[in-house]
Amino acid sequence: MIPRDPSLESGLAVLREGYDFIPSRSRRFGSDIFAARVMGREVTCLTGAEAAAQFYVPRRFTRQGALPAPTFSLIQDFGSVMALDGEDHRHRKALLLSILAPEALGRLPGLTEHHWRRAAARWAEKGEVSLFDASHEPLTAAITEWAGLALTPEEVRQRAREFRDMVEGTGSIGPRNWWGHWQRRRTERWARGTIEGIREGRLGVPLGSAAASIAAHRDREGRLLDVVTAGVELINILRPTVANARWAMFIAMALHEHPEWQARLAEEEWVDPFVQEVRRLYPFIPFMGGIVRQPFRWRDHDFREGDWVLLDLFGTGRDPAAWEAPEEFRPERWRGADWVTRPGFVPHGGGEHAMTHRCPGEWVTVEQMKVIARLLARDMRWDVPPQDLSLPPGRMPALPRSRFRIRVRS
């Protein structure tokens, strides 16, 4: 018998404790598995590298019904690749991997640097900015240009606001979530119009670009994706990349909290280890849900078809069984290590990208983070004024109370 949270209903505790909900109970029970009741549903909560290996066995789980509809519709939406299983999932995933694989990224790092430098010049004129909020615009400009879309500066600002608000609404209930859905509806209208314009020849995009590939994609029966679904997948290329604004902020926070790394990043060999350690230690997604498709047994517990499971991503990155000194910021641990196959490293999911629901845009995140780390450490001069940098555990997605303000010097 696995431990059980004694609360009759833990939904409010999830919202209040957020990233700490599963880790705190795991420590209390001395177990990497326990049961709880959340939103009136029985759920089995898992944490740690061994649990992650079980969670990401191909075809074992489905994401359908695994997250509350108001959250899922903001971060992926129904009809997207994350809502598919089996051969349909692999077929659609192949499209996204062909677009987002390392060899396909092409100009994206260079575009990211170009638009970031232009934005940094504007930040210097303002004197002080919230790095989190300000980062969305250059990332939007970079990914839309890379995808083959020619947006005006005002369109870039509008899409940046919409993408930011979608992500900001995912881990909340009430006004923040409602506003995120309102913004998503605006983005979806734009995305559908973009797909229609490409298909009808009214909107010219480069052959082979991400936007062109999505507009031309056909399902396993050879049919073009309907406009709504194609629009959703276009958003799912763009929005997660713009969400890297949070990683940009965490890079700057890491440099502020560990200033010795400002100089060490002058050596290129340290850039990737630094980025991977930021991904491991700083909070992004607290947990991921799955519904059991194929029954299995683990830790003397029977997982039945239809069971709801939550995997603790945040705590798994701090699993003392998998990481030496897990609470310490040690980029040195990544020298010579393969982050793709590292057990317990699941900031974007686990398993093989082509076979599981691991995020296909993970390489985009890594490459953009490396660009931003170089710029912040080598080329930009900036200060951090006094402010509250604490991260409330119940604030999902994570954000310091001050939204991390910096002063950029020209």
Q: What's the pLDDT tens digit per position in 161-193?
A: 999 998 888 877 778 877 777 888 899 999 999
Provide the pLDDT for residue 48: 97
Kindly report the CATH number that applies to the domain delimited by 64-292+334-409. 1.10.630.10
Rounded average pLDDT over 67-75: 61
The mean-pLDDT minimum among 75-89, 296-310, 323-337 falls in 75-89
- How much of the chain, in percent, has pLDDT values that exceed 90? 71
The pLDDT of residue 260 is above 70: yes
The mean-pLDDT minimum among 229-233, 316-320, 354-358, 370-374 falls in 354-358
Residue 315 near residue 22 (C-beta atoms within 8 A): yes
- pTM, two decimals, is 0.92
Provide the pLDDT for residue 361: 81
Task: Note the Cα 55 to chain centre separation in Å.
Answer: 18
Provide the pLDDT for residue 357: 73
DSSP conformational letter for 252 = H
The pLDDT of residue 109 is above 60: yes
Q: Please name which of 42, 57, 133 lies closest in space to residue 294, comparing C-alpha atoms.
A: 57
> Tokens standing for 10?
């833990």
Distance between CA 298 and CA 46 in Å, rounded?
11
What type of residue sits at position 253? M
Residue 74 near residue 166 (C-beta atoms within 8 A): yes
Residue 388 backbone dihedrals phi, psi, to 5 degrees: -95, 105
Residue 354 near residue 100 (C-beta atoms within 8 A): no
Residue 397 near residue 246 (C-beta atoms within 8 A): yes
Distance between CA 304 and CA 308 in Å, rounded?
9
The pLDDT of residue 119 is above 90: yes
Provide the pLDDT for residue 207: 87
Reported confidence tier of residue 72, pLDDT bands at 50, 70, 90: low
Provide the pLDDT for residue 149: 96
Provide the pLDDT for residue 125: 95
- 24 contacts: CB under 8 Å, gap ≥ 6: 17
Distance between CA 205 and CA 198 in Å, rounded?
7
DSSP run (H or E) holding 279:
helix 271-281
Provide the pLDDT for residue 82: 56
Provide the pLDDT for residue 296: 97
Reported confidence tier of residue 21, pLDDT bands at 50, 70, 90: very high
Rounded average pLDDT over 57-84: 69
The pLDDT of residue 68 is above 70: no
Domain boundaries in the chain? 64-292+334-409
Q: What's the pLDDT tens digit per position in 365-407?
A: 999 999 999 999 999 999 999 999 999 999 999 999 999 999 9
The pLDDT of residue 77 is above 70: no
Q: Virtual CA dihedral for 377, 273, 316, 238, nearest 10 degrees? A: 60
The pLDDT of residue 332 is above 70: yes
Cα angle 97-311-322, degrees, rounded to a multiple of 5 = 90
Provide the pLDDT for residue 152: 96
- Mean residue pLDDT of the chain comes to 91
Q: What's the pLDDT tens digit per position in 270-326?
A: 999 999 999 999 999 899 999 999 999 999 999 999 999 999 999 999 999 999 999
The pLDDT of residue 85 is above 70: no
Comparing 173 with 120, the larger pLDDT belongs to 120
